[in-house]
Amino acid sequence: MRSVACISFVALALSACSHVAPYERERLAHRTMVETQYVGPAEGHVRAVQEGAMGGSLEAVNGCGCN
């Protein structure tokens, strides 16, 4: 049941895709559209230490003995 739901979700998400020609991709290629994080590593580390949650950055995060 769970796998059916996952496949349905992915299929639904992919159906939302649209083809954009290379000459129409100027806005998609803008710096503010491609950066993964808008905060630097120091603020990212503050969040990692002060929030009990993690994930979503698509980057490997080191542990520390900070808190």
Partner 1 sequence: MQLKALAVAAFVLCAASARAQEDPSHLVLDVRAELTTYVDSDHVTVVTPSASIAARDDSAGWNAGARYLVDAVSAASVDIVASASRRWSEVRHEVAANGGLTRDAYKLNASLGGSFEPDYVSVTGNLQGGWTDPADRFTLALGYTLGHDTAGRTGTPFGVFERLLWKHGPTLAASIVLDAASLVLVSTDVAFESGDQSKPYRYVPMFDARAARRLENGASLEEVNDLRRAEAPLERLPMSRTRYAFTARYMRRDGAGTLRAEERVYVDTWGLFASSTDVRYAIGLGRYFELAPSLRLHAQTGASFWKRAYVVQANGTDVELPSIRTGDRELGPLWTVTAGADLRVDFAGVTTANGNALVLRAAGMRTAYLDALYIESRLALLATLSWIGTF
Q: Does 7 bind partner 1 (CB under 8 A)?
A: no
Q: Closer to partner 1 at the Cβ: 1 or 65?
A: 65
State the DSSP string of 14-38: HHT-----GGG-TTTTSHHHH-S-S
Least distance CB 25 / partner 1 (angstroms)? 7
3-state secondary structure of 13: helix
Q: Which two tokens stand for residue 50?
A: 């002060």
* Binding interface with partner 1 (CB under 8 A): 10, 13-14, 16-20, 22, 24-25, 27-28, 30, 32-33, 38-43, 45-47, 49-56, 58-67
